[in-house]
Amino acid sequence: MSARAREAREDEPGGIGRRAVLRGGLVVAGGVLLGGAAQTASAPAAAAAAEPSVHTRAAWAARPPTSPAQVIGQAPTYIVVHHTATANSTDYSLEHAFALSRSIQNFHMDGNGWADTGQQLTISRGGHVMEGRNSSLPAIRAGDHVIGAHVANYNDVAVGIENEGTYTSAEPTGALYGALVETCAWLCAAYGRPASAIIGHRDLNATACPGDVLYGMLPQLRQDVGAVLGAEYRRPLPASQRPPYPGVPEAGRVREFRHGPALGRRDSNAAVG
């Protein structure tokens, strides 16, 4: 991504910009800002990854699930970045973000027949972060994993972040990207996972998700998250955990789905609920 493109994103209405987030809220001149107090490189990395402001299901008026989510006492292997494949809205308000979460839940429950929202977290184009599937927020805080429905055959080992918009040819807003950096850093620290665990939906399934542009930004995302967390989190994934489709899959397969499959035969029934 060019410097000009980054600067343009930072000037968008309603956006705080990646540079503003990293310099003003997370990383500054060799230290990390938390509540205005800089921490040195010797401070614990996990302390640098403060929990972002996550709006709970109660805040966005979620429907009750038809059955409770299954929580397993282990960390997920992957942090999966998605795009919603919906319109690139210019409404950056909190009200719009809440409406987005309700729309996703209605589609997943009424359209797909699932027990609840499929993904664990959602980020709007205004940079608002919302809890998705029920029990996701307390599970993350405890280092546990809620089994969702967002990446076929890997839901038992993947936590999903849906990013509002379609990023096949457009870039996400600066506000969304900044929130994504903060959210991924929090997840990596909460689960003890390296920044290399941050992957795209297309790394696991035949799909265009999260779009060519956002997928192309994942190396920078990993670098930015690693800058927040420190050297301990910059290690590569073990060979046994590397996703089956690293890089951009063949054109014929990646174009099969705009968003991609969310459930597969190897998923447990808990993924549906």
At 98-120, the pLDDT tens digits run: 999 999 999 999 999 999 999 99
Predicted local confidence at residue 265, as pLDDT: 85
Predicted local confidence at residue 268, as pLDDT: 77
Q: Is the domain 3-271 a CATH 3.40.80.10 member?
A: yes
Give Cα separations from 217 to 4, 34, 40, 224, 227 (angstroms).
15, 26, 28, 11, 15
Q: What proportion of the chain, given as a percentage, has pLDDT over 70?
A: 77
Instruction: Return the structure tokens found at 125.
Output: 């184009």
Predicted local confidence at residue 36, as pLDDT: 29
The answer, yes or no, to whether residue 159 has pLDDT greater than 90, is yes
Predicted local confidence at residue 260, as pLDDT: 83
CB atoms within 10 A of CB 22: 18
The answer, yes or no, to whether residue 40 has pLDDT greater than 80, is no
Mean pLDDT for the chain overall: 83
The answer, yes or no, to whether residue 195 has pLDDT greater than 90, is yes
The answer, yes or no, to whether residue 186 has pLDDT greater than 50, is yes
Instruction: Return the structure tokens found at 69.
Output: 């989510």
Segment 140-167 shows an average pLDDT of 96
Predicted local confidence at residue 244, as pLDDT: 80
Predicted local confidence at residue 261, as pLDDT: 85
Whole-structure pTM over 0.85, yes or no?
no
Q: Which of 23-27, 29-33, 96-100 has the lowest mean pLDDT?
A: 29-33
Predicted local confidence at residue 68, as pLDDT: 96
Segment 20-43 shows an average pLDDT of 33
Q: Where are the domains of the chain?
A: 3-271
Segment 33-53 shows an average pLDDT of 49
Q: Which of 57-61, 175-179, 257-261 has the lowest mean pLDDT?
A: 257-261
Predicted local confidence at residue 69, as pLDDT: 96
The candidate with the shortest Cα–Cα distance to 170, out of 201, 215, 138, 219, is: 215
Report the distance separating Cα 11 and Cα 200, nearest Å. 26
Segment 29-56 shows an average pLDDT of 52
